[in-house]
């Protein structure tokens, strides 16, 4: 199974929001980066923003119609 590529995202955030994110991640047994990804995916789902499927990016893995 191929591993999905990742990219680095660096941003500044208020300490209170960082602590809330850390707490949420702990409660979900997730890393902070995984928690951010979950929150982004949830926001996109609720606002009808498409996220390209990682499987479609793998070579030789063409989608069947």
**pTM for the full model?**
0.72
Question: Does 64 score more than 50 pLDDT?
Answer: no
3 state SS of 55: helix
Q: Say how many C-beta atoms besides its own lie within 10 A of residue 5's C-beta.
A: 7
pLDDT of residue 52: 86
Question: Does 65 score more than 70 pLDDT?
Answer: no
CA atoms in the 13 A half-sphere facing the CB of 27: 6
Q: Backbone dihedral region of 29: left (phi > 0), alpha (psi from -120 to 50 degrees) or beta?
A: left
Q: Which comes out higher in pLDDT, residue 47 or 4?
A: 47
Q: Look at residues 18, 15, 1 and name the one whose alpha carbon lies nearest to residue 58.
A: 1
The whole-chain average pLDDT of the chain stands at 85
């Amino acid at each position: 199974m191929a591993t999905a590529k990742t990219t680095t995202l660096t941003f500044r955030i208020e300490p209170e929001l960082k602590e809330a994110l850390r707490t949420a991640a702990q409660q979900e047994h997730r890393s902070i980066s995984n928690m951010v990804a979950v929150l982004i995916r949830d926001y996109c789902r609720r606002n009808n923003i498409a996220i390209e499927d990682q499987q479609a990016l793998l070579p030789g893995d063409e989608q069947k119609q």
